[in-house]
Amino acid sequence: MTYFAHLTDRAVIAVRGEDRVRFLQGLVSNDVDAVEPGKAVWAALLTPQGRWKADFFIIADPDEPCLLLDCAASQSAMLVETLSKFRLRSDVSIQETRLVVHAAWGGLPDVATVENAIVVPDPRLPEAGWRLLMLEPSAAAKADAVAYDLHRLVLGLPDGVRDCEPEKTLLLEANFDLLNGISWTKGCYMGQELTARTHYRGLVKRRLVPVASEAVLPAPGTLVTADGREVGQIRSSHDHCGLAFLRPEAVSLHLEAEDHRIVPRVPTWFTTVLAAEKSSQTAGVGEASS
């Protein structure tokens, strides 16, 4: 079954000019050279200290030399202002557009529906579906943003503005390394040093993990505990399905949030890394106690 939704909480920024690729390449976590018509990349903008500031999909406009940033609407103005500060003498213009964002999953809508849309696969997971940029909301978009929210929560896909803590969250904590949001070969970008050090030294102390509960999950920031000990916190959720920052060793423990049982639902793309980090954290605790 095909689901097609207009994402009203998304906006699109246009980056034009001769230096647009080189300009973004020095600022974001992923390889902008890989962007081409029909292929997007997911990338983050970090603080100079390597903490999350924003994330977006970078999409090539097939009709003109322009890169389009599919971003959170609440961050659009901030991103234009922040990116503009780094222009210096670069041949780059940055401005908000009137394009609207749709998502499709389970299959693409019929050809007539997407005829004038810019369509790219979501680069994070094949199951995530497609991103569609259009001039106006489509009347064919029968699913709503809630349906899409449940879709991404079940898959374990972060929503940056709801799941990351500005100027605090590390990219590996939010699984950018596992969801194709980081290039390890592209060269320097703002905040790269901490990101690389976290990766190569195995310093990830918490991860964003899908969770479920028989009760409605509590508000973001609610502490998750195991035997009275804090092991994480709830992030975004809808009804009984959500995401939580958890210490890797906590996924096999009895977890609670506001006296309700919380059950981790580790997706297949996550199991190997989480198991390795759980083993590493457990070993570290044992070494420290001895």
Phi, psi of 170 (to 5 degrees): -85, 150
- Dihedral of the alpha carbons of 167, 173, 176, 177, in degrees to the nearest 10: 130
- What integer pLDDT is reported at residue 253 of this predicted model? 93
Residue 118 near residue 132 (C-beta atoms within 8 A): yes
- What integer pLDDT is reported at residue 270 of this predicted model? 86
pLDDT tens figures, 154-186: 999 999 999 999 999 999 999 999 999 999 999
Structure tokens at 214: 């028989």
Residue 236 near residue 243 (C-beta atoms within 8 A): yes
Beta strand pairing call for 229-238 and 260-264 = unpaired
Residue 144 near residue 103 (C-beta atoms within 8 A): no
Helix (H, G, I), strand (E, B) or coil at 252: helix
Q: Which residues pair with 11 in a beta bridge?
A: 71
Give me the tens of pLDDT residue by residue for the chain, a chain 290 residues long: 899 999 999 999 999 999 999 999 999 999 999 999 999 999 999 999 999 999 999 999 999 999 999 999 999 999 999 999 999 889 999 999 999 999 999 998 887 888 889 999 999 999 999 999 999 999 999 999 899 999 999 999 999 999 999 999 999 999 999 999 999 999 899 999 999 999 988 888 999 999 999 999 999 999 999 999 999 999 999 999 999 999 988 999 999 999 899 999 999 888 888 777 776 665 544 433 33
Distances (CA, A) of 69 to 75, 110, 130, 207: 11, 25, 15, 26
Q: What is the pTM of this model?
A: 0.93
- Identify which of 122, 178, 129 has the alpha carbon closest to the alpha carbon of residue 2: 129
pLDDT tens figures, 10-58: 999 999 999 999 999 999 999 999 999 999 999 999 999 999 999 999 9
- What integer pLDDT is reported at residue 281 of this predicted model? 62
